[in-house]
């Protein structure tokens, strides 16, 4: 059997939720990843030092038998300098959500007034705290990310030393933006390297493939593949694995999110092998993130084997991407 080994894989955009859901999904990421950047959009959101420490404790309690580093983030508000200095050692980044644009983002940024944001963003720049951004407007759904490029331009030029991560990019416009500013970087999900909008709603709607930002056009998929497969040094893997209970997905008002945590490495192997680029997967899934964020995760070695693997129908109450289907790679061992 063909095998492929990855060292210290990292998931740089991860939803672990809380409570019973946290206990269900956290062990799945901890099994195959050395660490993950944990999103702060709980209810209520993670906004204080006490919130950060308490949430991290709950995560670690959910993964007692696996080494896994939860890289913690704060929900963006206009924090003052003193507060940011008090939390800098406990977070890896601050996550900015436009208000109401995705799950639990009602308290996000309603207006990108640079002067109102200046103290926070300049202090983040001075302290070396990256800004992770869900980059969508409230316009027509297929244009929301492309329309946000002007805001990335504004942020990047106003704070040229601030490291800005364009989260889960889905468009050629975002790929083109990468090299326009030295301080712009990006995460890319596995499902956005596979899906176009046609896969989601081209036939009967597939609710477990519905996410925000929504999958886009074939030319956008091609652009994402071009930078991911070559492991462009400014891109890194972030699953945006977003679990919701089955009854929230298979319902009117379908919740946005694709759950890929248990199969993301396997799917990445399949994609990179398909294009004869397996040699670049290590950089995409770990090395670039280490360089961009300046982190050094504990050693973990994941060996994957090319053999048929049937994706479980559910993990707890959550239906994964490709539930019940056969994928081409499986995790053979974790050391």
The DSSP-derived string for 149-203 is: HHHHHHHHHHSTTS-EEETT--SHHHHHHGGG-TTEEEEE-SGGGT--HHHHHSS
Per-residue pLDDT at 65: 81
- Exposed, middle or buried: residue 116 (CB in 10 Å: 0-12, 13-18, 19+)? exposed
The residue-averaged pLDDT of 308-314 equals 98
255-288 tens-digit pLDDT: 999 999 999 999 999 999 999 999 999 999 999 9
Per-residue pLDDT at 96: 98
Residue 194 pLDDT greater than 80, yes or no: yes
The residue-averaged pLDDT of 214-225 equals 98
96-124 tens-digit pLDDT: 999 999 999 999 999 999 999 999 999 99
The residue-averaged pLDDT of 67-80 equals 97
Residue 66 pLDDT greater than 80, yes or no: no
Longest dimension (CA), the chain: 58
Residue 228 pLDDT greater than 90, yes or no: yes
User: What secondary structure, in 3-state letters, does 59-87 show?
Assistant: HHHHCCCCCCEEECEEECCCCCHHHHHHH
Positions annotated as catalytic residues are 240
Q: Please state whether the peptide bond connecting residue 279 to the residue before it is cis, i.e. omega within 30 degrees of 0.
A: no
Asked whether 323 and 206 are in contact (CB, 8 A), the reply is no
Q: Is 334 helix (H, G, I), strand (E, B) or coil?
A: strand
Residue 12 pLDDT greater than 90, yes or no: yes
Residue 64 pLDDT greater than 90, yes or no: no
Per-residue pLDDT at 77: 96
Helix runs in the chain, H state only: 19-32, 49-62, 81-87, 114-127, 144-158, 172-177, 197-201, 218-229, 246-249, 264-274, 281-282, 288-293
Per-residue pLDDT at 1: 75
- Architecture of the domain made up of 3-334: Alpha-Beta Barrel (3.20)
Distances (CA, A) of 253 to 103, 134, 136, 214: 12, 21, 20, 15
Mean pLDDT of the chain: 97
Q: For residues 73 and 276, what is the distance between their CA atoms, to the nearest angstrom?
A: 35
Per-residue pLDDT band for 215 (boundaries 50, 70, 90) equals very high
Per-residue pLDDT at 282: 98
Per-residue pLDDT at 119: 98
The dihedral through the CA atoms of 209, 167, 102, 57 has a sign that is: positive
Residue 168 pLDDT greater than 90, yes or no: yes
Per-residue pLDDT at 322: 98
Asked whether 129 and 88 are in contact (CB, 8 A), the reply is yes
Strand duo 131-133 + 184-188: pairing: unpaired
Q: For residues 312 and 314, what is the distance between their CA atoms, to the nearest angstrom?
A: 5
Per-residue pLDDT band for 47 (boundaries 50, 70, 90) equals very high
């Amino acid at each position: 059997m063909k095998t492929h080994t990855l060292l210290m894989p990292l998931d740089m955009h991860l939803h672990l939720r809380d409570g019973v859901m946290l206990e269900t999904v956290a062990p799945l990421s901890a099994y195959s990843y050395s660490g993950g950047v944990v999103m702060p959009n709980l209810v209520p959101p993670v906004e204080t030092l006490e919130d950060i420490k308490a949430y991290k404790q709950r995560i670690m309690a959910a993964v007692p038998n696996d080494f896994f580093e939860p890289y913690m983030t704060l929900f963006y508000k206009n924090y003052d300098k003193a507060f940011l200095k008090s939390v800098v050692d406990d977070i890896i980044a601050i996550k900015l959500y436009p208000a109401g644009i995705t799950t639990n983002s009602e308290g996000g940024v309603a207006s990108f007034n640079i002067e109102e944001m200046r103290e926070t963003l300049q202090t983040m720049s001075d302290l070396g705290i990256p800004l992770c951004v869900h980059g969508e407007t409230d316009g027509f759904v297929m244009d929301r990310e492309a329309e946000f490029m002007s805001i990335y331009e504004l942020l990047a030029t106003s704070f040229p030393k601030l490291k800005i991560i364009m989260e889960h990019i889905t468009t050629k416009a975002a790929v083109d933006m990468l090299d326009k500013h030295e301080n712009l970087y990006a995460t890319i999900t596995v499902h956005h390297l596979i899906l176009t909008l046609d896969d989601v709603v081209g036939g009967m709607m597939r609710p477990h493939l519905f996410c925000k930002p929504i999958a886009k056009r074939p030319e956008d998929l091609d652009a994402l593949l071009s930078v991911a497969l070559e492991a462009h040094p400014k891109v890194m893997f972030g699953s945006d694995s977003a679990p919701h209970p089955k009854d929230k997905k298979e319902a009117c008002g379908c919740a946005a999110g694709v759950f890929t945590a248990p199969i993301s490495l396997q799917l990445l192997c399949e994609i990179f092998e398909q294009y004869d680029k397996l040699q670049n997967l290590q950089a995409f899934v770990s090395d670039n993130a280490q360089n961009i964020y300046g982190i050094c995760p504990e050693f973990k070695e994941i060996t994957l084997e090319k053999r048929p693997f049937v994706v479980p129908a559910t993990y707890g109450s959550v239906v994964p991407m490709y539930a019940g289907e056969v994928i081409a790679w499986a995790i053979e061992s974790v050391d």
